[in-house]
Amino acid sequence: MLVLALDTATTVVTAGLVDLRSDGAPVTVAARAHDGRRHGELLMPAVRALCAEAGRALTEVEALVVGAGPGPFTGLRVGIASAAALGHALDVPVHGVATHDAIASWVHTGGNLLVVTDARRREVYWAAYDASDPADARSVRRLSGPAVEAPEALAARLDELAIGTVIGDPAFADRLGRDIGGPGAPTVEGLVGVAAADLLAGRTPAPVEPLYLRRPDAVEPTGRKRVTA
């Protein structure tokens, strides 16, 4: 099964074509990662470039997987709206997965794992996972989150969460008081791996719900301004 995977929830725009095999193993056919500050400009050109690189027509895509966040409002909206439009045009299902689940996939550490990404406003998005059981090589079990808060507040609870390893955005290492390893963004294999069971079973996906975790800065005006004395 040829799957197009997209994610715009982090500081990286991720796009790729993945061959999902019958045993559930996702194999990358072609992938691109670009500057996440230019989601709208880079995503669809990346998709066209992937198809050209792989020698595959976009019409050969049998399903889409898109990262549903958590992430900033604008970035998530670009990725999810693009996936929905492509799914409608190609008449194929669109599966949403939590971006942090995809980042955590296949990271088996022998203990609990924390994924952190940039939430801006001097905060982080985070989720904690049990990454100690290698029985399923394509997934880890989420224990808590996703949530958003200041790194210092999260640092005070790392012992409570029994966190052994932290991966994600290394810019927050000092404020968390922990070393932060990679990856800082999901791989296309990670995205498809999270949805693999549903894809292979042919399950109809629910509508993709973005994980904003907080309200956007823009708000609807509550009243009209008086312009005359």
**Is the pLDDT at 221 greater than 60, yes or no?**
no
Predicted local distance difference test score (pLDDT) of residue 127: 97
Q: Domain tally for the chain?
A: 2
- Per-residue model confidence as pLDDT tens digits over 11-43: 899 999 999 999 989 999 999 988 767 777 889
Predicted local distance difference test score (pLDDT) of residue 214: 74
Predicted local distance difference test score (pLDDT) of residue 172: 96
Dihedral sign for Cα atoms in the order 82, 84, 87, 90: negative
- Per-residue model confidence as pLDDT tens digits over 122-176: 999 999 999 876 555 456 789 999 999 999 999 999 999 999 999 999 999 999 9
Predicted local distance difference test score (pLDDT) of residue 63: 98
Predicted local distance difference test score (pLDDT) of residue 227: 60
Domain of 116, in residue numbers: 106-176
Residue 160 placed within a domain: yes
Which CATH number belongs to the domain containing residue 82 in this structure? Answer: 3.30.420.40
Which CATH number belongs to the domain containing residue 118 in this structure? Answer: 3.30.420.200
Same domain membership, residue 114 and residue 196: no
Q: Please say whether the beta carbons of 164 and 129 come within 8 A.
A: no
Predicted local distance difference test score (pLDDT) of residue 133: 64
**Is the pLDDT at 187 greater than 90, yes or no?**
yes
Number of neighbours of residue 112 by Cβ within 10 angstroms: 21
Predicted local distance difference test score (pLDDT) of residue 108: 75
- Higher-confidence residue: 228 or 124? 124
Contacts 24+ apart (CB under 8 A), 12-16: 12/36, 12/184, 12/185, 13/38, 13/39, 13/42, 13/43, 13/46, 14/67, 14/185, 14/186, 14/187, 14/188, 14/191, 15/43, 15/46, 15/47, 15/50, 15/188, 16/50, 16/187, 16/188, 16/189
Residue 228 placed within a domain: no
Same domain membership, residue 95 and residue 20: yes
Predicted local distance difference test score (pLDDT) of residue 225: 59
Q: Global pTM?
A: 0.89
Q: Based on the number of CB atoms within 10 Å of its own CB, is 133 exposed (0-12), middle (13-18) or buried (19 or more)?
A: exposed
Dihedral sign for Cα atoms in the order 211, 24, 186, 67: negative
Provide the pLDDT confidence category of residue 105 given band limits of 50, 70 and 90.
Answer: confident
Predicted local distance difference test score (pLDDT) of residue 136: 58
Same domain membership, residue 114 and residue 136: yes
Backbone torsion region of residue 94, taken as left when φ is above 0, otherwise alpha when ψ lies between -120 and 50, otherwise beta: beta
Please give the mean pLDDT across all residues of the chain.
90
Dihedral sign for Cα atoms in the order 35, 44, 94, 198: negative
**Is the pLDDT at 119 greater than 70, yes or no?**
yes
**Taking residues 53-70, what's their average pLDDT?**
97
**Taking residues 183-207, what's their average pLDDT?**
95
